[in-house]
């Protein structure tokens, strides 16, 4: 279940070097990404239109790519411009080109109707390129459908259990009631917790003598992008009073690779210790460790559900994930209806 008319994160900018033929599968479609001499990134179908050999194991020739099976050469628009041993190149010899926008260190590819590609639908991932936010970029691969991971991100009650010894540290997170705000293409989730012990990972960089208040304020928008402001501060003050607070920013993107696998791009940065690489690295390490905890749990869950399917029973905490799944369902159905007529 996918919404196609969306910008999907295909790569971190630094993954697409100037000479690279970078291959990544998105929504089951094999895509070649390459950065032109101008710096622009283009995305082409990775299958040579002749007999399906991967262009990504071909050869860069300037802004062109040559298939190294029988030598067909393509320009950056996806048009075949040379067939060895053949004087004419028929006009239909070409590969699909996908709309691309590179914004704030993420390379986005539009997977739906190119006519509908609309930069206004890009998510606001400016924290990726904000000099006040210090972070290390990360990528993780999941061998499950992206919606299982979206479920996880839509319900932070799991921090108390999955991340008990890393990002959690208190059952109060699970006890708290989040607030939900509908967005045009997603959901805003606000979860606040008063007077809890620091999370274990806070202790690797913070210095709070006693309990803290914590907040998680995030938008989760189509196709599966989380944009968060979170942090901790001295307990008991108003939620607008950030005196003594430690602020963090996070951008995370789920991109379906196939129906059963997912690319996960993420960063969690800090704004409170400028130039302190130790803190930045420590936060990155803790988040990676925690996301590996998520992956272990989610993969165990999915393996069991595939082996022995069962009807799931909803609880109150599912409110967020149910809304997001419903949104994806409505949008995907609308696209299917539009496509058939």
Residue ranges that bind a copy of itself, judged by CB under 8 A:
25, 28-30, 46-47, 49-54, 57, 66-72, 83-86, 92-93, 151, 155, 157-158, 160-162, 164, 171, 174-177, 258, 296-297, 300-301, 304-305, 307-308, 310, 312-317
Please say which residue, 109 or 248, places its beta carbon nearer to a copy of itself: 109
**Residues whose CB falls within 8 Å of the CB of residue 25, separated by 6 or more in sequence, listed in order:** 31, 257, 258
In whole angstroms, how close is the CB of 224 to a copy of itself at the nearest point? Answer: 18
213: its two tokens: 């208040």
Where is 181: in which H helix or E strand? Answer: strand 179-183
Using CA atoms, how far apart are residues 271 and 280, in angstroms rounded to an integer? 9
215: its two tokens: 């907040």
Please say which residue, 138 or 164, places its beta carbon nearer to a copy of itself: 164
Please say which residue, 85 or 275, places its beta carbon nearer to a copy of itself: 85
Q: What string of DSSP letters covers 267-318?
A: EEEESSSTT-HHHHHHHHHHHHHHHHHHHHHHHHHHHHHHHS-------GGG
In whole angstroms, how close is the CB of 312 to a copy of itself at the nearest point? Answer: 5
Please say which residue, 65 or 227, places its beta carbon nearer to a copy of itself: 65
In whole angstroms, how close is the CB of 292 to a copy of itself at the nearest point? Answer: 14
Q: What string of DSSP letters covers 2-22?
A: ---SSEEEEEEGGGS-TT--E
Using CA atoms, how far apart are residues 175 and 190, in angstroms rounded to an integer? 14
Please say which residue, 134 or 151, places its beta carbon nearer to a copy of itself: 151
In whole angstroms, how close is the CB of 201 to a copy of itself at the nearest point? Answer: 18
Please say which residue, 70 or 330, places its beta carbon nearer to a copy of itself: 70
Using CA atoms, how far apart are residues 165 and 316, in angstroms rounded to an integer? 24
Please say which residue, 171 or 211, places its beta carbon nearer to a copy of itself: 171
In whole angstroms, how close is the CB of 283 to a copy of itself at the nearest point? Answer: 23
Please say which residue, 14 or 307, places its beta carbon nearer to a copy of itself: 307
247: its two tokens: 């602020």
92: its two tokens: 């239909």
Cis-peptide into 223, omega within 30 deg: yes
What sign results for the dihedral spanned by CA atoms 313, 320, 166, 168? negative
In whole angstroms, how close is the CB of 317 to a copy of itself at the nearest point? Answer: 6
Q: Across-strand partners of 265?
A: 139, 253
In whole angstroms, how close is the CB of 220 to a copy of itself at the nearest point? Answer: 17
In whole angstroms, how close is the CB of 159 to a copy of itself at the nearest point? Answer: 10
């Amino acid at each position: 279940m996918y919404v196609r008319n969306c910008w999907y994160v295909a790569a971190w900018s630094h993954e697409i070097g100037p000479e690279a033929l970078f291959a990544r599968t998105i929504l089951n479609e094999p895509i070649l990404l390459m950065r032109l001499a101008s710096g622009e990134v283009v995305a082409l179908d990775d299958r040579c239109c002749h007999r399906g050999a991967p262009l990504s194991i071909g050869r860069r020739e300037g802004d062109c790519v040559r298939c190294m099976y029988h030598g067909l050469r393509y320009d950056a628009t996806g048009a075949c411009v040379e067939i060895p041993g053949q004087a004419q190149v028929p006009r239909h010899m070409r590969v699909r080109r996908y709309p691309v926008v590179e914004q704030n260190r993420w390379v986005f590819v539009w997977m739906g109707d190119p006519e509908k590609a609309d930069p206004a639908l890009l998510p606001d991932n400016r924290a990726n390129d904000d000099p006040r936010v210090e972070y290390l970029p990360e990528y993780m691969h999941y061998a499950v459908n992206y919606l299982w991971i979206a479920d996880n991100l839509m319900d932070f009650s799991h921090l108390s259990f999955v991340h008990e010894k890393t990002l959690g540290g208190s059952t109060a997170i699970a006890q708290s009631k989040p607030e939900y705000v509908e967005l045009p293409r997603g959901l805003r989730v606000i979860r606040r917790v008063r007077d809890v012990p620091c999370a274990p990972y806070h202790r690797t960089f913070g210095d709070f003598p006693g309990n803290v208040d914590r907040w998680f304020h995030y938008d989760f928008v189509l196709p599966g992008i989380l944009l968060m402001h979170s942090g901790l501060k001295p307990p008991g003050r108003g939620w607008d009073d950030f005196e003594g607070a430690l602020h963090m920013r996070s951008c995370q993107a789920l991109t379906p690779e196939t129906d059963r696998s997912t690319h996960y791009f993420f960063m969690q940065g800090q704004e409170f210790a400028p130039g302190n690489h130790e803190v930045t690295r420590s936060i990155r390490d803790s988040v990676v460790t925690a996301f590996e905890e998520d992956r272990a749990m989610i993969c165990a869950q999915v393996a069991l559900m595939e082996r022995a399917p069962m009807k799931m029973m909803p609880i109150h905490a599912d409110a967020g994930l149910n809304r997001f799944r419903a949104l994806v369902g409505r949008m995907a159905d609308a696209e299917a209806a539009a496509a058939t007529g």
